[in-house]
Amino acid sequence: MRKWLTFRHISHKNQEFLAFFRKTARLSEVGSACEHYRGAPLSGVFSAGYGELNAQIQALSAHNPDRPVLGDRNIVGIERVLQRSSAAELSALEKSMSWLATTGAVTPFIGLLGTVVGIISAFEGLGLEKTASIQAVAPGIADALIATAAGLFAAIPAVIAYNQFLNRIKIIAAELDDFTSEFLNLVERSFS
């Protein structure tokens, strides 16, 4: 539930930030507003890229104080920072996903192990009785099958949640890639 709420919050904040970024004429205004969009991966990527852009401009201003011009090398440096920041944002979103994957993969086997142990116990009890009948073994097998049901009861929601969250992470990754391209295009138009 916590992860679902996190993704919902992130989606909302990303949309708000992107709308603000696109309507604002000055990058410095967007940079100042990033605090308001804390937790939005797009805001984090922007902050990293904007910080690198400022560092590049300050370095170039020492040589040409009138109008610093970014070259291809500078743009590549900004692009690398944006990519590193995107990777860091995605890593933060992927946190705890391995627990869902492990739960979805392992719990059916744990349930099956419980079932096998329960059936072995039921057959051992059947072997101790002089007459073999289904009434003697059925309660033990029924109890053993509860373990399988419990394993599936845990695994099915875990797999569904894992797939849903993985899909949302892919969507956010695409948004980060698109934003990186948009940011770089803006920088190239403005400073090249």
Q: What is the pLDDT of residue 153?
A: 92
Cα–Cα dist 117/99, whole Å: 26
For residues 61 and 74, membership in a common domain is answered with yes
Q: What is the pLDDT of residue 82?
A: 95
For residues 158 and 173, membership in a common domain is answered with no
Q: What is the pLDDT along the chain (192 residues), one digit of tens a residue?
A: 788 888 899 999 999 999 999 998 888 898 888 888 888 999 999 999 999 998 888 887 777 666 667 787 888 999 999 999 999 999 999 988 998 899 999 999 998 998 898 888 888 877 777 667 777 777 778 888 888 899 999 999 999 999 999 999 999 999 999 999 999 998 888 877
Number of structural domains found in the chain: 2
**Domain extent for 146:** 98-163
For residues 115 and 54, membership in a common domain is answered with no
DSSP class of residue 35 equals G
For residues 78 and 131, membership in a common domain is answered with no
For residues 132 and 121, membership in a common domain is answered with yes
Q: What is the pLDDT of residue 189?
A: 83
Q: What is the pLDDT of residue 58?
A: 83
For residues 17 and 78, membership in a common domain is answered with yes
Q: What is the pLDDT of residue 65?
A: 66
For residue 43, count other CB atoms closer than 10 A to its CB: 26
For residues 30 and 110, membership in a common domain is answered with no
User: Which residues fall within 8 angstroms of residue 154, CB to CB, at 6 or more apart?
Assistant: 103, 107, 111
Tell me the whole-structure pTM to 2 decimals: 0.80
For residues 90 and 155, membership in a common domain is answered with no
User: Which residues fall within 8 angstroms of residue 156, CB to CB, at 6 or more apart?
Assistant: 104
For residues 174 and 140, membership in a common domain is answered with no
On whether the CB atoms of residues 37 and 13 are closer than 8 A, the answer is: yes
For residues 92 and 102, membership in a common domain is answered with no
On whether the CB atoms of residues 151 and 114 are closer than 8 A, the answer is: yes
- Going through the chain in order, the beta strands assigned E by DSSP cover none
For residues 12 and 106, membership in a common domain is answered with no
Q: What is the pLDDT of residue 56?
A: 85
For residues 172 and 107, membership in a common domain is answered with no
Cα–Cα dist 43/15, whole Å: 10
